Each structure stands twice: as structure tokens, then as C-alpha cells.
Amino acid sequence: MTTEAAPLRIVIADDQASVREGLVLLLGGLPGIDVVGAAADGEQALGLVAEHRPDAILLDLHMPVLDGIGTTRRLAAEHPGVAVVILTTYADDESVLEALRAGARSYLTKDADRADIASALQAAAGGLSVLDARVQAALLAAATSRPAATSPAPSAEPPSQAPLPDGLTQREAEILTLIAQGLTNPEICARLFLSNHTVKTHISRIFAKTGSRDRVAAIGYARRHNMG
């Protein structure tokens, strides 16, 4: 006599109601998957994980209240047994690397079909990582197109390797330096191979951390700290 395997219990988190509800229907209708909760933001997702103790969570990156990166960090610290699978529109290398560093096990884009999503969830719950083809291509393009260390092109890196002020990350300091050099958002996107949304998100965090109300104030901050 054989025992039937327990279904994979998952939580879905996406701020777009149509996407969230569609994923619940698509994945909940598959054999071997039990959707135990659906959240509209990161804080709701953490509450559902604490309540239901799922095997995995399918998580969007850009959500209100607490975004996907912050949620992933909290999950890694508070619920390390829950496998995090990112499902998002953004496949740029910065988003991918930030999610993986935060503790995500797999990363898919929203053009993945339900079979691919289900397979990634099962694999992640089993300890494996899955990166879809677009994500792998973005990482490979970034690795092969960045200028070598000997390139004469000017570097956007901050000149000092000392600890960065006010909790700025290396990427935020890099973008702040480019702002201080007069680059526009599209020029920063092209220089760093980032999406417009990612650059805007970084700039919002830069303004918050440096107490800058606009680009002029941010440039002043950068110059006071020798970053531009």
C-alpha cells in the first residue's frame, strides 16, 4: 500500500489583485499544490507565513509596505525553512542579484507558465535553485559587458573604499556618484544595465537616506562626501 505525498503548501504575494488572484486559480488547480494564503504586500505575506507555515512562497519584488527584497530578508531570518521563489516582471541583473543575496532560492519572470512556476516551487522546496532563461541571459550579459578593470573609461565607483555614509549601499553610492556627474536616469540605466524602475527605486532610497528632497540636494550631499 502506498501513501500519497502531501501537497506542497504555498503562499502567493503580489500587489496586483488580478495577478494574485490569477496565480491562486492557476496554481491552486494543479495536483500536488495547496495555496494556503495570498497577500497584497510583504507584511501580509510574513503574517500568512507565520500563520500557515508553508513550504514555499511565490513573491513579487515590487510591493507596497514591504517590498520583495525586504520580505525575503525577513523570511530568511525568521522562517529559514520556507523556500522563496521570486516571480516578477524585472529580469535586470541588479534585481536578480539583490534577491538572491537576500535569500531567494529561485527567480522567474512573469512570462513563465504555470508548469514552470510549479516546478520551480517544488525544486526550491527541495533545496534546488531555478533561474529562468531570461534571468540567466541578463546575468550573462552583465558579466560579459561590464568594462574590465584596465578600461580607460571613467569609473562610477565612489573614490573612497571607506564605509559609506548613512547606510548607503555600494550600488546606491554608485548611482549617487553618477547623479553628481550630471547623468540623467536613462543614462544611468544604460551605464549600469539597469531598468528604469530599478534606478528610480534606488534614487528614492538615496533621497531618504541622505535627507535630500531633490537631485540638487543629493548632488550637494555627494560633493560634501567626495562622491561626485
Average pLDDT over residues 202-216: 88
What's the pLDDT at 13? 97
Domain boundaries, the chain: 8-140, 165-224
**CATH architecture label of 165-224:** Orthogonal Bundle (1.10)
- Identity of the amino acid at 122: Q
What's the pLDDT at 94? 78
What's the pLDDT at 139? 67
Q: Quickly state the pLDDT bin for 73 (edges 50, 70, 90).
A: very high
Q: What is the pLDDT of residues 84-101, one digit of tens each?
A: 999 988 777 678 888 888
What's the pLDDT at 152? 45
Cα separation, 152 vs 35, in Å, equals: 53
Q: What percent of the chain has pLDDT over 90?
A: 41
**What is the CATH number that goes with domain 8-140?**
3.40.50.2300
Cα separation, 227 vs 177, in Å, equals: 5
Burial call 179-218: b when 16+ CB within 10 Å, e when fewer: bbbebebeebbebbebbeebbebbbebbbebbebeebeeb
Number of alpha carbons in the 13 Å side-chain half-sphere of residue 148 = 2
